A and B are shown apart, each in its own frame.
Chain A
Amino acid sequence: MRKWPLLLTVLLVLLYPYLLQSTYFRTIGIFIGIRAIVVIGLCLLMGYAGQASLGQAAFYALGAYTSGVLTVRYGVSPWLALPAGIILASVVAAAVGWPALKLRGHFLALATLSFGLIVYFLLKQWSFLTGGPSGLSGIPALSVAGARLRSAEYYYLVWGTVALVAWLAHNIVHSRIGRSLRAIHDSETAAECLGVDTFRLKLQLFVLSAAYAALAGTLYAHFVRFFSPAAFGFKVSIEFAIMAALGGMASIYGGVLGVATVTLLIEVLRAVVPLALPAAHAVAAVETAVFGLILVAVFIFLPDGLAGGAQQLRTRLVARRAAAAGQTKEARS
């Protein structure tokens, strides 16, 4: 990737709170950042290693609820709850991934799908711990040295975290490990013949993606400070997968782009749909239909997502410019 799109993005992210100075837009900015952390992990897993997870919201929930429960029920410091959530999600991911990844094929997608549903129902049922369907409230805000983080500061904390996890992911992609993960995607047999323990690498990556999701979940918990299981249902897992697919799974940068696009689209739908369809469930129904259309459109027109599309467009423009230059040269001679 060239340097300027990255610089432009960094500049946009840094200036965003000043460009749109409303609580609403700042909240959206924070949500995009939090989801981007989940989706970057998912891009590594799905885009690079070719292993689909349809239950990423469950790890997001494990992070959020570990933070929520430890701080609300046991008075633990949020800064201690954060690593606890990540560790719990990692251990659970290892337990889910172990049997699923022993088998080749799409067993991880099936296992994570059912795992997501199980977690969702447990969150609803274990009211004594999670508050059940009515949710968990009173989660403390994050504070540094006794001072509570205000939303502008939280925005930079979240995006600082995004930058960190994106950097780690970028380094992994461009390494011996990243190459082997891509190798697994293309030919598991050939990777094994070169000595790659494909099971172990896939499991490690799956655990890493769960840790990313749990980290995002913790940041979510201390930002919204109240949530219910509805924030972690099957639909949320699918949304994460759609964000990754739309952005271009084999691109970390594209993943962030996918999150921003889908998040803004949801906001637009929420504003526009009630004007045309006043029924209570219209927004949800239209959202589902629009997501379906996006998925189909991505698979047909943009198999490598927005990032891949942009790359293609650039290649085509360069080729056209080169052809045009060639013609003028011919015309001169």
Chain B
Amino acid sequence: MSILEVREVAREFGGVLAVDKVSFMVQENEIVSVIGPNGAGKTTLFNIISGVYAPTAGQVLLRGREIQGKKVFQSAGLGLTRTFQNLQLFSRMTVLENVMTGRYMRTSSGFLAAALRLPQAVREERLTREKAFSCLEQVGLEACAERPVTMLSFGEQRLVEIARAMAMEPGLLLLDEPASGLNPAEKLQLAGLLRRLRDSGITILLVEHDMNTVMELSDRVIVLYLGRKIAEGTPAEVQQDEMVVAAYLGGEKIC
């Protein structure tokens, strides 16, 4: 069974179809990219899958369960999380605390257990710290663990956001333009990290503008144009697709 299935999903904004009957599947342990010129509907599609918007038609299935219209935290509870193009870090926390927050779903102590420092809460807190630290090690930021997250560079902050998502151990990770704002060295580092994540069992769906990253990293690519899916296939197939080339002509050139 595919981990994600998008079935005939549509979303209308005041008479304009931002996404028009888009369907595709993502299999376990794949890296799939959604690309398309500006205004193609990538971000809207992303927001529908992650639960920010409800679709006006169609279904989104996560491991066979319908999640369209569910609250964001409910989808997260089913193993889906995302990162943000413009970063959504917790600015008043240290790097480690940011990542520790990612363990929320994997821990259970509530107000009472926390207030009374019940043994369960104390044990969970220790495990949370250890797990968060190991996620930071995987992105190479363990030395910055105790620093305020706002002191880090943009590229490092992006890695913190990914580490925070990793801490959740999601089944499916949505990445919203993870390469934007990164320098070439950081992009290479990111690609390596995403491949390691995929190998560790996290399926990845990303929206990305940076064609080098997309073509190098993706197992499959889905191309949107004016709200519709116009192509789907391996990077090599998509690059030779006439419709894709036409859609990008005059706009961005696909490499």
Chain A interface residues (CB < 8 Å from chain B): 168-169, 171-172, 174-180, 182-183, 185-187, 189-198, 204-205, 208, 250
Q: List 15 A-B contacts (CB under 8 A).
A: A168-B115, A175-B121, A176-B103, A176-B109, A176-B121, A179-B93, A183-B101, A185-B90, A189-B84, A190-B90, A194-B76, A194-B105, A195-B104, A195-B105, A196-B101
Q: When A and B form their complex, what is the total count of cross-chain residue pairs whose Cβ atoms lie within 8 Å?
A: 100
CA distance A174 to B82 in the complex (A): 26
Which residues from A are CB-within-8-Å of B89?
Answer: 186-187, 190
Whole-angstrom distance from the CB of A30 to the nearest CB of chain B?
Answer: 25
CA distance A208 to B115 in the complex (A): 11
Which residues from B are CB-within-8-Å of A185?
Answer: 90, 92
Which residues from A are CB-within-8-Å of B164?
Answer: 194
B227 is an interface residue with CB less than 8 A from chain A = no
CA distance A179 to B113 in the complex (A): 14
B234 is an interface residue with CB less than 8 A from chain A = no
Which residues from B are CB-within-8-Å of A208?
Answer: 111
CA distance A174 to B91 in the complex (A): 17
Chain B interface residues (CB < 8 Å from chain A): 50, 52, 71-73, 76-77, 81-82, 84, 88-93, 97, 100-105, 107, 109-111, 113-117, 121, 124-125, 128, 164-165, 168
Whole-angstrom distance from the CB of A195 to the nearest CB of chain B?
Answer: 4
Instruction: Summarize A's interface: helix, strand, loop or mixed.
Output: helix
A177 touches B105 (CB 8 A): no
Whole-angstrom distance from the CB of A222 to the nearest CB of chain B?
Answer: 25
CA distance A125 to B186 in the complex (A): 68
A194-B81 in contact given A175-B121, A179-B93, A179-B97 (Cβ < 8 Å): yes
A177 touches B111 (CB 8 A): yes
Whole-angstrom distance from the CB of A200 to the nearest CB of chain B?
Answer: 9
Which one of B50, B92, B124 contacts A182 once the chains associate, using CB atoms below 8 Å?
B92
Knowing that A175-B109, A193-B72, A195-B77 are A-B contacts, what are 16 other residue pairs whose CB atoms are under 8 Å apart, sorted by A's residue number?
A172-B115, A174-B125, A176-B107, A177-B114, A179-B100, A182-B90, A182-B97, A183-B93, A186-B92, A189-B88, A190-B88, A195-B73, A195-B76, A195-B81, A195-B104, A196-B73
CA distance A185 to B111 in the complex (A): 17
A171-B100 in contact given A176-B128, A194-B81, A204-B111 (Cβ < 8 Å): no
A168 touches B76 (CB 8 A): no
A196 touches B92 (CB 8 A): no
Whole-angstrom distance from the CB of A307 to the nearest CB of chain B?
Answer: 14
A176-B104 in contact given A168-B115, A192-B72, A192-B76 (Cβ < 8 Å): yes
Which residues from B are CB-within-8-Å of A175?
Answer: 109, 113-114, 121, 125
Q: Which residue of B lies closest to A189 (CB)?
A: B88
A193-B92 in contact given A171-B114, A176-B109, A176-B114 (Cβ < 8 Å): no
Which residues from A are CB-within-8-Å of B81?
Answer: 193-195
Which one of A176, A186, A190 contacts B84 once the chains associate, using CB atoms below 8 Å?
A190
Which residues from B are CB-within-8-Å of A189?
Answer: 52, 72, 84, 88
Which residues from B are CB-within-8-Å of A174?
Answer: 125
A171 touches B103 (CB 8 A): no
Which residues from A are CB-within-8-Å of B110?
Answer: 177
A195-B111 in contact given A176-B121, A190-B90 (Cβ < 8 Å): no
Which residues from B are CB-within-8-Å of A204?
Answer: 111
Whole-angstrom distance from the CB of B199 to the nearest CB of chain A?
Answer: 23
Q: Which residue of A lies closest to B149 (CB)?
A: A186
Whole-angstrom distance from the CB of A305 to the nearest CB of chain B?
Answer: 14
CA distance A251 to B78 in the complex (A): 35
A177 touches B76 (CB 8 A): no
Which residues from B are CB-within-8-Å of A168?
Answer: 115-116
CA distance A182 to B92 in the complex (A): 8
A186 touches B91 (CB 8 A): yes
Which one of A177, A186, A198, A250 contacts B90 once the chains associate, using CB atoms below 8 Å?
A186
Whole-angstrom distance from the CB of B76 to the nearest CB of chain A?
Answer: 4
Whole-angstrom distance from the CB of A37 to the nearest CB of chain B?
Answer: 15
CA distance A191 to B100 in the complex (A): 12
CA distance A193 to B90 in the complex (A): 13
Whole-angstrom distance from the CB of B195 to the nearest CB of chain A?
Answer: 23
CA distance A165 to B105 in the complex (A): 27
CA distance A169 to B115 in the complex (A): 7
Which residues from B are CB-within-8-Å of A172?
Answer: 111, 114-115
Which residues from A are CB-within-8-Å of B104?
Answer: 176, 179-180, 194-196
A192 touches B71 (CB 8 A): yes
Q: Which residue of B lies closest to A50 (CB)?
A: B92
Which residues from A are CB-within-8-Å of B125?
Answer: 174-176
Which 10 residue pairs across A and B have the least CB separation, nearest first? Answer: A175-B114, A195-B76, A190-B88, A195-B105, A192-B72, A186-B90, A168-B115, A187-B88, A192-B73, A177-B114
Which residues from A are CB-within-8-Å of B109?
Answer: 175-177
CA distance A266 to B33 in the complex (A): 63
CA distance A183 to B105 in the complex (A): 14
CA distance A190 to B113 in the complex (A): 24
Whole-angstrom distance from the CB of B178 to the nearest CB of chain A?
Answer: 15
Whole-angstrom distance from the CB of B89 to the nearest CB of chain A?
Answer: 7
Q: Which residue of A lies closest to B167 (CB)?
A: A194
CA distance A204 to B168 in the complex (A): 23
Q: Which residue of B lies closest to A196 (CB)?
A: B104
Q: Which residue of B lies closest to A205 (CB)?
A: B111
Which residues from B are CB-within-8-Å of A195?
Answer: 73, 76-77, 81, 104-105, 168
